[in-house]
């Protein structure tokens, strides 16, 4: 897309905050372009057609802190965590469209998302204004472990058999017989309570049944273990009500439930010695038991006073579900790689590589936080790792799903290129010590050279040059002679790090200093011009018509002496002395120094020697005409022009007067005064002569 950038107006600059538009360093304005733009510049062009553009690189931004994600389970429709306060948090689930949330002043954030499924990956990135985005953090969606419901059955063959208990809120409850036939079903309420009446014709007294809770989440059914119940025989008179048992999980050391107030409750765990407790006035009871294991059966019978013991109620001890931990990794090959996140309190954390080898381990604290530093020699940059949480309960290890992380690779520091000017045959700079430096010339030229001063499109692109920085980080390389506008681009890479960002500069033009110049001589022997300029440059002397009347070269110290032939110039001619140098296939010329060919008898522009009435030109541009010989009545005009080496000054004779001549060149007004003075002087001279003759 062609784009033309033109010089902004003064009002536009002032609107941009510039207080002194005449200052080239302050007359700035901002613009944006992309690499696909072709830019044509017409900015602040000087008389030689050159312009200068400064590109201000944006400073490296600080990176936003890595956010955290709370454990995510199948069926969740909200995801939460922490991040830097007021940061923008982007949540991506698998290949779904990202969802954005904003952290509050305390750094907490919550995002509404479509229902998630087991095994999906949740990735979160946070970004604070003015900072780079954070490192991403990822967790896997965990499946659900549904606790076995509590269940007790009562009733008779006339009215049916009510089954009551507690389970996960809104779970489906399914009651099956030994053949797996469903004999009753229902759903728990918001508090997890349920009551299902089995029709008398579906079961027989003393038949064994199983009660299961089912939760559907993320498109998948999760079933609990079965809780056994036995269809009661016709109710005996004066029997204690059937107690209830709260869900029991592996690792539990207390079992609780309800029974008739003040009933004795006998709790038996898989053939262990029974434990007896007493229900309180509200009917609540709690029994301390040895740590239970998944699959064990807990049976409870209650007895009140002289009543018959209740029908026994049993539940199966459920396994536990461990949510996948959150995990983020940072660090480098020098200091190691810290992995931090959250999980179940006091869980073990295990970090493994693709081969299943443990490369780091630790334990979460009482709040579930953990931080494990992986030694640099255990992993390689860009290696994929898995983080899992492990909880041991009832003599069995329960592992979470894996949270994937990738070992980060540092980016090599951006190298620097020393300034380069046309004609240079070496390029140097600095980079990370020992890093490999790739230098390209004009690789970025279609964009960069046009931006920064004009691309020399006839130059072929050079092949990349590779070298290595020394132990101090310095590098230098020989190149073909550089031309103005060439673009030099350097990247660096240290082993085990990403390639650096590129650094580019544009080759600058050569600035040739104007020479000093002094002329002397005469019409007989010629006119030596001497002075100083840059060493080994060409000196060219030309007249007002641009014709070259003398050339030469400065020595290694910059001195030169060129004799202009007398037949090439005339006294009073203005000559122009220029220094030039050829670099990168282009000639660069200095500004001109001006000298004036001296007139004979003026003593090289110094004291004129008091020539009488000669009208000799002094050292100034138009000279100071000497009138009279300094005798009585003589008037001397003292010139102070640019090149004057000293005008004639009347010797100390009486009556001498001085009239200063100002300015670097004569004007009609000065000429009029000069003519008038000549006339007055002549009149005085003739008058005196006549009187003497008389």
Count of CB atoms situated within 10 Å of the CB of 62 = 10
User: Which of residues 596, 629, 648 is at a domain's end?
Assistant: 596
Per the listing, tokens 């490192």 go with 135
Bridge partners of 63, per DSSP, are 132
The residue-averaged pLDDT of 596-607 equals 65
- pLDDT tens for 322-348 read 989 999 998 888 899 999 999 999 999
Residues 630 and 657 in one domain: yes
- Alpha-carbon gap, residue 103 to 81, rounded angstroms: 9
The residue-averaged pLDDT of 569-591 equals 94
In a domain, 212, yes or no: no
**Least confidently predicted of 106-120, 152-166, 428-442, 561-575:** 152-166
Residues 632 and 689 in one domain: yes
The residue-averaged pLDDT of 65-78 equals 89
- Half-sphere exposure of residue 194: CA atoms within 13 angstroms, side-chain side: 30
- Alpha-carbon gap, residue 409 to 497, rounded angstroms: 5
Where is pLDDT greater, at 646 or 431? 431
Residues 560 and 620 in one domain: no
The residue-averaged pLDDT of 10-33 equals 52
Bridge partners of 2, per DSSP, are 38
User: Which of residues 455, 478, 506 is at a domain's end?
Assistant: 506
Is it the case that residue 499 has pLDDT exceeding 70?
Answer: yes
Per the listing, tokens 């036939």 go with 181
Q: What pLDDT band is residue 276 in, cutting at 50, 70 and 90?
A: very high
Residues 471 and 535 in one domain: no
In a domain, 300, yes or no: no
- Alpha-carbon gap, residue 284 to 141, rounded angstroms: 36
- Alpha-carbon gap, residue 121 to 326, rounded angstroms: 11
The most confident of the ranges 212-216, 459-463, 634-638, 678-682 is 212-216
Where is pLDDT greater, at 532 or 4? 532
- pLDDT tens for 410-447 read 888 899 999 999 999 999 999 999 999 999 998 643 33
Residues making up the chain, counted from first to last? 694
Structural domains in the chain (count): 6
Residues 674 and 586 in one domain: no
The residue-averaged pLDDT of 574-586 equals 94
- pLDDT tens for 458-490 read 344 456 888 899 999 999 999 889 999 999 999
Residues 402 and 417 in one domain: no
Residues 614 and 589 in one domain: no
In a domain, 14, yes or no: yes
The answer to whether 676 and 670 are in contact (CB under 8 A) is: no
The residue-averaged pLDDT of 583-594 equals 93
Q: What is the phi/psi pair of residue 637, to 5°?
A: -95, 125
In a domain, 97, yes or no: yes
Residues 586 and 609 in one domain: no
Residues 422 and 500 in one domain: yes
Q: What pLDDT band is residue 670 in, cutting at 50, 70 and 90?
A: very low
Residue 672: per-residue pLDDT: 41
Bridge partners of 579, per DSSP, are 539
Residue 59: per-residue pLDDT: 52
Per the listing, tokens 């630790």 go with 362
- Here the CATH number for the domain that contains residue 558 is 2.60.40.10
Residues 393 and 451 in one domain: no
Is it the case that residue 547 has pLDDT exceeding 90?
Answer: yes
The most confident of the ranges 9-23, 83-97, 593-607 is 83-97
Bridge partners of 440, per DSSP, are 489
In a domain, 245, yes or no: no
The closest of 173, 181, 183 to 150, measured between CA atoms, is 173
Residue 637: per-residue pLDDT: 36
User: Which of residues 383, 408, 433 is at a domain's end?
Assistant: 408
**Least confidently predicted of 198-207, 486-495, 661-670:** 661-670
Q: What pLDDT band is residue 260 in, cutting at 50, 70 and 90?
A: very high
The closest of 632, 613, 618 to 670, measured between CA atoms, is 618
Residue 631: per-residue pLDDT: 37
The closest of 122, 120, 99, 121 to 111, measured between CA atoms, is 99
The most confident of the ranges 10-19, 464-473, 516-525 is 516-525
The residue-averaged pLDDT of 140-144 equals 87
Q: What pLDDT band is residue 62 in, cutting at 50, 70 and 90?
A: confident
In a domain, 53, yes or no: no
Is it the case that residue 25 has pLDDT exceeding 80?
Answer: no
The residue-averaged pLDDT of 71-83 equals 90
Residues 478 and 542 in one domain: no
- Half-sphere exposure of residue 616: CA atoms within 13 angstroms, side-chain side: 26
In a domain, 682, yes or no: yes
Residues 433 and 475 in one domain: yes
Taking the alpha carbons at both ends of the chain, their separation in whole angstroms is 97
Local structure of 579: helix, strand or coil: strand
Mean pLDDT of the chain: 79
Domain region containing 376: 328-408
- Alpha-carbon gap, residue 444 to 488, rounded angstroms: 8
Residue 91: per-residue pLDDT: 95
Percent of the chain with pLDDT over 70: 74
The answer to whether 84 and 107 are in contact (CB under 8 A) is: yes
In a domain, 222, yes or no: no
- Half-sphere exposure of residue 348: CA atoms within 13 angstroms, side-chain side: 12
Count of CB atoms situated within 10 Å of the CB of 164 = 17
């Amino acid at each position: 897309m062609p784009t033309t950038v033109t010089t902004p107006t003064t009002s536009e600059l002032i609107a941009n905050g510039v207080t002194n538009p005449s200052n080239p360093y302050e007359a700035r304005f901002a613009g944006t372009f992309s690499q696909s733009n072709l830019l044509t510049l017409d900015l602040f062009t000087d008389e030689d057609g050159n312009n200068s553009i400064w590109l201000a690189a944006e400073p490296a931004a600080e990176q936003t802190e890595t956010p955290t994600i709370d454990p995510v389970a199948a069926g969740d429709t909200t995801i939460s965590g922490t991040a830097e306060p007021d940061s923008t948090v982007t949540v991506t689930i698998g290949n779904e469209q990202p969802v954005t949330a904003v952290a509050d002043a305390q750094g907490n954030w919550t995002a509404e998302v479509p229902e998630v499924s087991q095994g999906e990956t949740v990735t979160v990135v946070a970004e604070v204004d003015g900072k780079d985005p954070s490192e991403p953090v990822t967790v896997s969606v965990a499946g659900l472990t549904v606790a076995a419901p509590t269940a007790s059955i009562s009733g008779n063959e006339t009215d049916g058999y009510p089954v009551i208990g507690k389970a996960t809120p809104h779970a489906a409850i399914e009651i099956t017989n030994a053949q797996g036939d469903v004999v009753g079903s229902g759903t728990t309420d918001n508090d997890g309570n349920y009551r299902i009446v089995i029709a008398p014709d579906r079961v027989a007294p003393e038949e064994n049944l199983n009660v299961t809770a089912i939760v559907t989440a993320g498109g998948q059914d999760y079933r609990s273990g079965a809780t056994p119940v036995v269809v009661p025989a016709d109710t005996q008179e004066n029997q204690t009500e059937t107690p209830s048992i709260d869900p029991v999980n592996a690792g539990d050391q207390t079992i609780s439930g309800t029974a008739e107030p003040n009933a004795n409750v006998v709790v038996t765990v898989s053939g262990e010695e029974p434990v007896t407790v007493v229900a309180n006035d509200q009917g609540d009871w709690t029994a301390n038991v040895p740590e239970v294991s998944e699959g064990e059966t807990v049976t409870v019978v209650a007895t009140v006073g002289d009543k018959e013991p209740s029908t026994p109620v049993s539940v199966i001890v459920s396994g536990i579900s461990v949510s996948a931990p959150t995990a983020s990794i940072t660090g480098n090959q020098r200091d190691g790689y810290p992995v931090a996140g959250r999980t179940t309190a006091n869980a073990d954390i295990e970090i493994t590589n693709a081969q299943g080898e443990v490369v780091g381990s630790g334990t979460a604290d009482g709040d579930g936080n953990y931080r494990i530093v992986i030694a640099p020699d255990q992993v390689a940059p860009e290696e994929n790792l898995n983080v899992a949480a492990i909880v041991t309960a009832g003599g069995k290890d329960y592992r979470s799903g894996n949270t994937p992380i990738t070992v980060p690779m540092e980016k090599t520091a951006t190298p620097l290129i020393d300034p380069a000017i046309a004609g240079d045959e070496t390029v140097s700079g600095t980079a990370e010590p020992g890093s490999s430096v790739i230098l390209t010339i004009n690789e970025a030229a279609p964009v960069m050279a046009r931006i920064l001063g004009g691309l020399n499109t006839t130059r072929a692109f050079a092949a990349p040059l590779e070298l290595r920085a020394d132990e101090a980080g310095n590098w230098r390389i020989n190149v073909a002679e550089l031309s103005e506008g060439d673009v030099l681009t350097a990247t660096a890479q240290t082993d085990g790090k990403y390639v650096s960002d590129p650094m580019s500069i544009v080759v600058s033009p050569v600035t040739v200093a104007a020479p000093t110049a002094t002329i002397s001589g005469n019409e007989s022997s010629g006119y030596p011009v001497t002075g100083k300029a840059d060493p080994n440059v060409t000196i060219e002397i030309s007249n007002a018509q641009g014709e070259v009347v003398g050339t030469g070269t400065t020595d290694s110290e910059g001195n030169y002496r060129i004799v202009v032939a007398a037949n090439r110039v005339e006294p009073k001619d203005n000559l122009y002395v220029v220094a030039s140098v050829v670099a990168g296939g282009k000639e660069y010329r200095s500004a001109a120094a001006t000298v004036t060919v001296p007139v004979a008898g003026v003593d090289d522009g110094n004291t004129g020697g008091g020539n009488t009435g000669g009208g000799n030109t002094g050292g100034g541009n138009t000279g100071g005409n000497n009138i009279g010989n300094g005798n009585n009545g003589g008037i001397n005009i003292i010139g102070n022009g640019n090149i004057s080496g000293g005008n004639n000054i009347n010797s100390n004779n009486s009556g001498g007067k001085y009239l200063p001549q100002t300015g670097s060149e004569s004007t009609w007004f000065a000429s009029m005064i000069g003519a008038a003075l000549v006339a007055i002087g002549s009149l005085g001279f003739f008058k005196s002569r006549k009187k003497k003759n008389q």
